[in-house]
């Protein structure tokens, strides 16, 4: 069996780069996976320390049946939902696949089967390809997986920056979250940020509705933020984190006048919804009166929540909290996933 290295990573850049030496591809919103196949057995490594093999038995079976020879392939595991002609990636459905119970894993593998999107080839047979330029690895990948059917797919690529910009705009409607640029002459560099990723950058005005105490026990660890829906209800849409040590302590003082208190004067707390990812974590937060507005940067909306942690931009004392509604968010046109996979 191949030794599975750490995956090559990407650093964020603000725009699709120009130049003749780049290959561009869609940025798939799933679980990064390195698939090792020795001709008989399959292992699925992840970006972290946790192997993914046991969680995707349908993919293990498909790899063993479909891969034409021993290989080590880099790619992304995704789950699609929707009717034919209107499919899109679904992060919540994918995240549900990580479950400790074998019976639940088996059930979900049938109810929400995953796909694998291959985008790099690290080894083929007894040849280590990591030192080869990406152009060579890409050609080998296409040759290896040509004609291999669903659930294994090879990602689309283009060397046309204008086409990549169109993909950035269009493919979000199918649940993708950006574009990746790879230098055609670059080797595979495990654990290093040598690829470029271009994601959507948007801003929204949101209401501070609470905060969590930092894990150190001092200062604000994260701000919980919300938006008003069409019925006038304030909905939790995500969190803002990554404050400096000094800023965390300053925020406690700054937000103190907004802390809700009970009859005894004690701060009122609440709890956010738990998931299997937060089951062992403290989900309590200090409630704030919904009066303070801040502007945040975000990339995507997943349902009625921000897909990732958002970044603080600035306070907006000029904005009324009740004006912070979902209507300000950009509507993304639907795009069929099948058109991305072709």
Q: What is the DSSP string of 50-89?
A: S--GGG-HHHHHHHHHH--S-EEEEEEEEEEESSTTS-EE
Residues contacting 93, CB < 8 A, separation 6+: 79, 81, 112
- The catalytic residue positions are 27
In the beta sheet, which residues pair with residue 202? 298
What number of other Cβ atoms are within 10 A of residue 238's Cβ? Answer: 24
- Count how many Cα atoms sit within 13 Å of the Cα of residue 123 in the half-sphere of its side chain: 18
- Dihedral sign of CA atoms 22, 24, 27, 33 in order: negative
H helices present in the chain, as ranges: 57-66, 91-95, 102-111, 134-145, 161-170, 245-255, 337-341
């Amino acid at each position: 069996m191949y030794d599975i290295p750490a995956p090559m990573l990407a650093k964020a850049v603000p725009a699709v780069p120009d130049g003749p030496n780049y290959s561009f591809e869609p940025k798939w919103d799933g679980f990064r996976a390195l698939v090792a196949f020795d001709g008989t057995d399959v292992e699925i490594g992840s970006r972290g320390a946790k192997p993914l093999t046991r969680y995707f038995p349908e993919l293990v079976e498909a790899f063993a049946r479909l891969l034409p020879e021993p290989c080590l392939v880099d790619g992304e595991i995704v789950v699609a939902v929707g009717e034919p002609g209107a499919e899109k990636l679904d992060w919540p459905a994918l995240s549900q696949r990580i479950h400790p119970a074998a019976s639940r894993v088996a059930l979900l593998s049938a109810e929400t089967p995953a796909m694998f999107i291959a985008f790099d080839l690290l080894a083929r047979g007894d040849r280590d390809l990591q030192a080869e330029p990406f152009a060579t690895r890409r050609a080998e990948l296409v040759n290896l997986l040509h004609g291999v059917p669903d659930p294994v797919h090879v990602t689309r690529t283009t060397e046309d920056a204008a086409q990549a910009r169109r993909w950035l705009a269009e493919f979000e409607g199918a649940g993708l979250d950006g574009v990746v640029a790879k230098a055609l002459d670059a080797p595979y560099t495990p654990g290093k940020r040598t690829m470029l990723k271009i994601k959507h950058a948007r801003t929204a005005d949101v209401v501070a509705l609470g905060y969590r105490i930092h894990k150190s026990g001092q200062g604000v660890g994260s701000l919980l933020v919300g938006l008003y829906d069409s019925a006038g209800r304030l909905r939790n849409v995500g969190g803002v984190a990554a404050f400096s040590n000094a800023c965390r302590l300053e925020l406690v003082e700054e937000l103190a006048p907004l802390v809700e208190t009970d009859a005894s004067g004690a701060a009122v707390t609440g709890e956010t919804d738990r998931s299997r990812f937060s089951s062992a974590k403290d989900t309590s937060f200090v409630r704030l009166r919904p009066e303070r507005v801040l502007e945040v940067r975000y990339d995507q909306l997943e349902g009625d929540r921000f897909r990732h942690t958002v970044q603080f931009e600035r306070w907006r004392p000029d904005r009324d909290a009740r004006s912070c509604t979902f209507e300000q968010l950009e509507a993304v046109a639907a795009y069929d996933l099948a058109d991305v996979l072709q």
